[in-house]
A and B are shown apart, each in its own frame.
Chain A
Amino acid sequence: MASRKDSGPAASTGMASTGGTLDSPVKQIQIEGLVVLKIIKHYQEEGQGSEVVQGVLLGLVVDDRLEITNCFPFPQHTEDDADFDEVQYQMEMMRSLRHVNIDHLHVGWYQSTYYGSFVSRALLDSQFSYQHAIEESVVLIYDPIKTAQGSLSLKAYRLTPKLMEICKEKDFTPEGLKKANIGFEHMFEEVPIIIKNSHLINVLMWELEDKSTVADKHELLNLSSSNHLEKSLQLLMDRVDDMSQDIVKYNTYSRNLSKQQQQKHQYLQRRQQENAQRQSRGEPPLPEEDITKMFKPPQPPPRMDTLLIAGQINNYCQNVKEFTSQNLGKLFMAEALQGHN
């Protein structure tokens, strides 16, 4: 299988199978600066705490590039307007934007994340329905905490074709997954992003730089790391706990299964023996009873959750490693600075 490549050295895309060729219709994402600013603003104003903010991406597809030219945010789900019609909001928004010549083609959605914990059932379902409807859609994950540490963290993900197949058939049993030969590394594929600005926006950037003061906070060179590491490790531990529970469940299931096989085997043997005895005594053999009804096979636990948890753990580990490598570099720099004193 070509896609079972070793994605270990691809440190920047821990969750994706980069390999040589992405056999998907979208090979690159091109985002306008305006979209980046809007996403940042949306999170900053509406998403304090660990809530996620979501929104819709608009743009168009050019060759093998997906160009994202605009976006609009979605309101949060609150309890007091449970009858809020999301579809209507979206339709109205897109209709209005069309009046002012903004691209009104839906090409994906974005979501903010808390310390990298976005691999969940909800995301999978949403992305699956999007990708099913629009083939080239992506989900942009914006990590505000990592951005606040100094560098914009925006990643684009799509579901691999294999995962799409599985979701379509809803076959989440171990056998199904084994057939598809899918591992947690092949769930999502990351698409590289480039940012492109029009000339006018570039002029604006010049003006802004001219008129604004130099930033006085250089977060990227901040040496403190314990807070961030603590939280990341906490989340990692929770996930690993979930994982181990899942593993225990699977183990009990397979033990039950094998026990049941044994019982079946024994029963069949006893039956045969009895039948042989009866034949020797000249009596009619006992009727063959339906074995499957007597020994109902236990339900195999769905493997999708395990896959998701494994993917999430992988993501956490990847983030932690990136963070530590950056901090090691900074520590060595501080050492050099001190040494000269």
Chain B
Amino acid sequence: PAPPPHPHPQENKTAVRPPACRGSVRLSPAAGDRASLSKMSVFGPVVKIHPVVLASICDSYERRNEGASRVIGTLLGTIDKHSIEVTNCFSVPHNESEDEVAVDMEFAKNMYELHKRVSPTEVIIGWYATGFDITEHSVLIHEYYSREASNPIHLTADTALQSGKMNIRAYVSAQMGVPGKTVGVMFTPLTVKYIYYDTERIGVDLLQRTRVAPNRTKGLTSDLSQVAGSAARVQDMLATVLAYIEDVLSGKVTADNSVGRFLMDLVNKVPTISAEDFENMLNSNINDLLMVTYLSNLTQAQIALNEKLVLL
């Protein structure tokens, strides 16, 4: 079920260009102002993006053909009642020049078929383009995708970092203008959220750490070092909270009741068990783990021995 189309969500429209064929109207006074965009209440579905989609877009941008200034591709995902979840994407070769644009439709269809084999629940929900702005060609491409999916969404990611940030925005198109006379197309922005599966979150955490490594690489740690890393992070968070408390106590920052309530929850979460009970629980757990370690060592010794005997 497609989300209901919405006419004009905002009153503060500024420069409305004549609705000929170009219809990319920005609805906030300062184009690209992230703060004002996020404060706008947009009707329409929420777009939830998985990080794999964005990484894929960046990768295809890096691999673009010589002379191409942007890449486009299809977005795959699932549609819910109030949200659209984008879970996959693939890039589509296209040629763009001043006055015409050519998209390889065959390729797009083919790839979609192949993808459907693997995940039959994903459908075409829209398309993406890298770059900062919405151009006239986008309108044409959007029309094509309207044939494939009802009410497709359009995602832009500014991989050239024109404004210093990678603005990731999503749009839905709507008709505008005077019916009967010249009709144009307007792209209205949607809220974009990032959503992760649990395992994805863990993967992304690991990838985050490649940012700080000197040559952008990171090996996979193992065993206790991982627990140590996690504990260090919790320690950092505790340090931040402590700093905040110090500030409040010394009057630098006004106390906030809700934060206070959270802190109370936090302190109460450490369960108060009598020392004896805790000793018992701790010891029994440690015993279990030690026993299992002993067993596995024994098994390993056993098979090694068996091996040696066979090869005698």
Contact = CB atoms under 8 A, between A and B. Distances in A.
Interface of A is mostly: helix
B203 A37 contact: yes
B216 interface: yes
Given A178-B311, A183-B307, A313-B303, A37 B200 contact: yes
Interface in A182-233: 183-184, 192-209, 211-212, 215, 217-221, 223, 225-226, 229, 233
A69 B63 CA distance: 11
B239 interface: no
Given A41-B88, A313-B303, A333-B231, A203 B52 contact: no
B70 to A, nearest CB: 13
A335 B224 contact: no
Interface in B215-253: 216-224, 226-228, 230-231, 234
Q: Which of A152, A247, A341 counts the most B-chain CB atoms under 10 A from its CB?
A: A152
Interface string B43-64: 0000000111011101111111
A218 B207 contact: no
Contacts of B88: 41
Contact of B51 (A37, A203, A225): A37
Interface residues of A, number: 104
A218 B297 CA distance: 30
Given A33-B55, A34-B55, A150 B230 contact: yes
Interface in B253-311: 270, 272-273, 275, 278, 282, 285-286, 288-290, 292-293, 295-297, 299-300, 303-304, 306-307, 310-311
A270 B311 CA distance: 34
10 contacts: A147-B202, A151-B206, A184-B307, A195-B210, A200-B61, A221-B231, A229-B289, A243-B306, A322-B223, A331-B286
Given A96-B111, A99-B107, 5 more contacts: A12-B222, A102-B59, A152-B220, A236-B299, A303-B310
Interface of B: 50-52, 54-56, 58-65, 87-88, 90-93, 104, 107, 110-111, 114, 117-119, 121, 159, 161, 165-166, 168, 194, 196-208, 210-211, 216-224, 226-228, 230-231, 234, 270, 272-273, 275, 278, 282, 285-286, 288-290, 292-293, 295-297, 299-300, 303-304, 306-307, 310-311
